[in-house]
Structures are given as C-alpha cells and as structure tokens.
C-alpha cells in the first residue's frame, strides 16, 4: 500500500482576514408550521403536487381547522395560487378567516350584506359582501365562504386553483359536484365519524348506491374515483384524553386508528378528589326522553362541575360556566336544560347537531337512548353519539337511563345497537 505524504504549507503571512459572518436564515413563513409535522406536510405535498383530489380523514380534535388555515395560507402565499375554502356554517367560515388573518394572510370572508359582520380580530382578513367578491388581480389569494354561498356564485367570476372543503363529511356528494365547477383540484378535510349531512328530500332511489348525491362527499368521492384520490390521514387527537380515545376509537373509527396527544389535564373536586376523565350517572326515567328527571340531572351535573378546579400544564384555576357544555339529542331536551340553567348563560347548551365542531373543558351528555324503550334509528345513530361523546377535553359526565341496558339487550341485532351495547358496558363498568 502506498501512502501519499501530506504537504507542509508555509506559515501564512500578512494580516489575518476578518471572520466571515454566519449567514442569516430567511424569515420563517407565517404558515410554515404545516411543515413541522410529517402528516400535515404530506397534505401540503399532495396539494402542491397537483393531485386532483385529496381526502384528509381526521378524528375529533386533530386540528382540522388549523390545517385548513395553514394549507390555504401556504398555497396562496408561497405558490401564488387562488384558494377557495368552503365551510359548512357561517361560524366555521368566520373562524377559518380569523385564523388566516392571524397568519397574516389577507383572506376575504364572504358574508351576507344584511348581517352584522363577525369580529375577525386584528389580523389581515377582511369581510366582503355581495358582488364585490373578487380575487386579487395578481398573485395568490384566499376566499372563504359557506358551501351554500359558493353554489350560487358564478364559477367564471370566482374560479380558483384549489378548493378546500372544510368539515367535508358534512357536505353531500351533490354539494361537491357543484363546488367542482370552481377549481380543477379539491381537498376534502373532515371527520368521518360525525353526523351525516342533513338531507330533506327523498333518497330511496339511491339507497344502495355508494355514490348517491346524499352520501357524505369524501365517502362518495372515494367510491367513485378511488384510484385518482390521495388520502392523508390525521392520526392524533389533541382534544381527547387517553380514556376517551380508548372508548370512541374502536366504536366509531374502526378504520381510522388514532392516539391521544392531549397534554395532561384534569378536574379536582372541592375535597381534593380527582375526577375521572369519563363518569356515568344513572337516572331512573319513566316519562320518555323528555322526562324532567333526565334534564334535571344534566343541569345538576353542570352545576356540580362549577365547584371543581381545572389543572393543566399552565396551573390550576376554578372551572367557569364558559368551560362547560351540555349536549342532548333533541331540541326539547336542550331547551329544558337551558331553562334550568338560565342563571348561567355562558354554559353552552345545545343538540349534537348544533354543537358539532365545538369543544369545552368539560361536558355533560344526556345519553341518546335515555328515556327510550325502543332503540329507533334516530336514537342509535352512531354519528350523533360520536359527536356527543367527543366535545370535552378534561372531563365528561354521561347521564344514562337505568332501563337502557335492558332495552339494548332485547333489541334486534344491528351494528349500531351492538356498538351502543359495547359503549354502554364501558361507561357503566
């Protein structure tokens, strides 16, 4: 083996050169957080690559709204694309615009001219109305509106490069077909375990069709064009704790395994006892779903939670009415509870349909089968139960009917009934 000797260099002469300053890194883009997680970065990659359709299934509390805002701001600000966002409610649209404004993205929220404008905070988002809605004449931009508003807008006027559908499982395949006229590329973000879209017309002719116009948009899109659809799944919840995740994941998301990444937090009673993440309160009801014993128990449970304290990584503080939600299946049940809590207007009280997408520190839920002696399709709908059991962060109290276990045992075999049996057994264990 031959060794090549290292030459000896003569000592340097002359004055020493000044040290070169380290290069200053470029400023971080306001929406660059989308690249911090490989899953959200995968969503951006699929959209930026030009995939014609991207579906993003998500468990509750996985940061869907945050993802929509980061994705839209990045595509508009870094790729100079025209981005449309279709939300399912005005509140959802306003929240998305608010988050875009906080990212310094000059989004435009389409809002009815005769309605009071929502507060979008000090960010860059603005409210526009009527026929004044336009994209910027150059560069990228973001327009946010409800699906209903998009569907009666001229596609030639508001044509865009990418259309993001927020809470896409609440939109029908017919809605998605109408939205498809605005952009050659669509991104559907949503929760497949939630309540299906409300359809008032007859759908019997499509009862056995996986692509019927009433089917949730992402499900029908996958059934019709699976080979052309990219799927990127969010696999962590930042809202639900480990006990709630273990309860609802196998029951409502058998094809979507996910884990809890919620930071530790819990409630403590006045005596210092730590409340479990999920608790059940059994009530004897004899007057149907509207039995005052059921709604009264919900109101009492909410008041009891106001005597507790919340402990998080930030410290300990008393639980306030704004930290609480009471969720029921029926409008009449919610109205009865709201009347009993009239002196606490900050407690959020509503049906599962009304509270879908919302969260609170603690929640009280009136079990959807409470008061029933016949498990009908409305009471056993899994989407409604999923919404009701996933609105909380630190604690959930479920008010149940003592007769419900026997009602479920005598019911005809059915996947929804079987799922409710498993859920109730876990709640009462």
**What is the structure's pLDDT at 1?**
44
* Phi, psi (deg, nearest 5) at residue 187: -125, 120
| Rounded (10°) CA dihedral 124, 126, 131, 135 | 10
Confidence band of 244 (pLDDT split at 50, 70, 90): very high
Closest CA relative to residue 47, chosen from 7, 8, 4, 79? 79
CA atoms within 13 A on the CB side of 108: 20
Which pairing describes strands 309-312 and 266-268: parallel, antiparallel, or unpaired? antiparallel
For the chain, the domains span 32-200+207-234, 242-428
Q: Average pLDDT, stretch 353-367?
A: 95
Say if residue 2's pLDDT is above 50.
no
Name which of 126-135, 167-176, 188-197, 202-211 the model is least confident about: 126-135
pTM: 0.89
E strands in 291-407 = 309-312, 315-318, 324-328, 348-351, 360-366, 392-401
**pLDDT tens-place string over residues 92-143:** 999 999 999 999 999 999 999 888 999 998 888 999 987 778 999 888 999 9
**What is the structure's pLDDT at 198?**
84
Name which of 15-29, 120-134, 392-406 the model is least confident about: 15-29
- Whether the CB-CB separation of 65 and 166 falls below 8 Å is answered with yes
Say if residue 265's pLDDT is above 80.
yes
How far is 257 from 253, CA to CA, in rounded Å? 7
Q: 208 is written with which tokens?
A: 């056995």
Which residue's entry shows tokens 């090549």?
4
Q: Do domains 32-200+207-234 and 242-428 have the same CATH topology?
A: yes
CATH topology assigned to domain 242-428 = Rossmann fold (3.40.50)
Q: Average pLDDT, stretch 291-301?
A: 98
Which residue's entry shows tokens 């399709």?
377
Say if residue 311's pLDDT is above 80.
yes
User: For the chain, what is the mean pLDDT?
Assistant: 92
**What is the structure's pLDDT at 16?**
64
**What is the structure's pLDDT at 7?**
52
Q: Average pLDDT, stretch 76-84?
A: 96
Which pairing describes strands 229-231 and 278-283: parallel, antiparallel, or unpaired? unpaired
Closest CA relative to residue 392, chosen from 282, 257, 250, 267? 267
**What is the structure's pLDDT at 165?**
98
Q: Average pLDDT, stretch 62-84?
A: 97
**pLDDT tens-place string over residues 44-70:** 999 999 999 999 999 999 999 999 999
Q: Average pLDDT, stretch 410-422?
A: 88
Say if residue 426's pLDDT is above 90.
yes
Confidence band of 340 (pLDDT split at 50, 70, 90): very high
How far is 299 from 59, CA to CA, in rounded Å? 29
**What is the structure's pLDDT at 138?**
87
CATH class of 32-200+207-234: alpha beta
Q: Average pLDDT, stretch 274-295?
A: 96
How much of the chain exceeds pLDDT 70, in percent? Answer: 95
Closest CA relative to residue 377, chosen from 327, 416, 423, 418? 416
How far is 190 from 165, CA to CA, in rounded Å? 8
How far is 213 from 279, CA to CA, in rounded Å? 40
Q: Average pLDDT, stretch 288-306?
A: 97
- Work out the angle at residue 190's Cα, subtended by the Cα atoms of residues 173 and 327, and round it to the nearest 5 degrees: 105
């Amino acid at each position: 083996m031959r060794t090549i000797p290292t030459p000896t260099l003569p000592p340097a002469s002359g004055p020493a050169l000044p040290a070169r300053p380290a290069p200053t890194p470029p400023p971080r883009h306001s929406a660059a957080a989308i690249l911090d997680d490989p899953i959200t970065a995968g969503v951006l990659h699929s959209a930026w690559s030009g995939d014609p359709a991207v579906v993003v299934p998500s468990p509750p509390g996985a940061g869907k709204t945050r993802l929509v805002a980061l994705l839209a701001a990045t595509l508009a600000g870094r790729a100079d694309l025209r981005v449309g966002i279709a939300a399912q409610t005005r509140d959802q649209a306003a929240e998305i615009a608010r988050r875009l404004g906080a990212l310094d993205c000059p989004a435009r929220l389409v809002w009815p001219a005769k309605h009071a404008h929502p507060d979008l905070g000090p960010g860059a988002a603005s409210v526009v109305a009527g026929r004044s809605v336009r994209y910027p004449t150059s560069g990228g931009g973001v327009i946010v509106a409800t699906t209903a508003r998009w569907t009666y807008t001229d596609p030639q006027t508001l044509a865009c490069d990418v259309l993001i559908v927020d809470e896409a499982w609440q939109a029908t395949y017919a809605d998605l077909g109408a939205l498809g006229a605005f952009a050659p590329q669509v991104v559907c973000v949503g929760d497949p375990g939630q309540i299906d879209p409300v359809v008032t017309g007859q759908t019997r002719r499509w009862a056995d069709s996986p692509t019927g116009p009433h089917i949730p948009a992402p499900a029908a899109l996958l059934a019709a064009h699976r080979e052309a659809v990219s799927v990127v799944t969010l696999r962590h919840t930042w809202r639900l704790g480990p006990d709630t995740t273990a309860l609802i994941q196998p029951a409502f998301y058998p094809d979507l395994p996910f884990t809890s990444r919620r930071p530790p937090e819990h409630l403590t009673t006045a005596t210092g006892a730590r409340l479990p993440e999920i608790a059940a309160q059994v009530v004897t009801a004899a007057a149907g779903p509207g039995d005052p014993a059921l709604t009264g128990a919900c109101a009492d449970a909410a008041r009891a939670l106001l005597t507790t304290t919340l402990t998080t990584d930030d410290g300990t503080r008393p639980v306030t009415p704004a930290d609480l939600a009471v969720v029921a299946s029926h409008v009449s049940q919610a109205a009865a509870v709201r009347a009993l809590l009239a002196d606490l207007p900050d407690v959020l009280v509503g049906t599962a349909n009304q509270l879908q997408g919302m969260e609170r520190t603690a929640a009280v839920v009136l079990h959807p089968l409470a008061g029933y002696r016949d498990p009908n399709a409305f009471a056993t709908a899994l989407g409604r139960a999923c919404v009701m059991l996933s609105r909380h962060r630190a604690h959930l109290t479920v008010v149940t009917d003592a007769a419900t276990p026997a009602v479920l045992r005598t019911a005809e075999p059915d996947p929804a009934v079987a799922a409710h049996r498993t859920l109730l057994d876990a709640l009462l264990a």
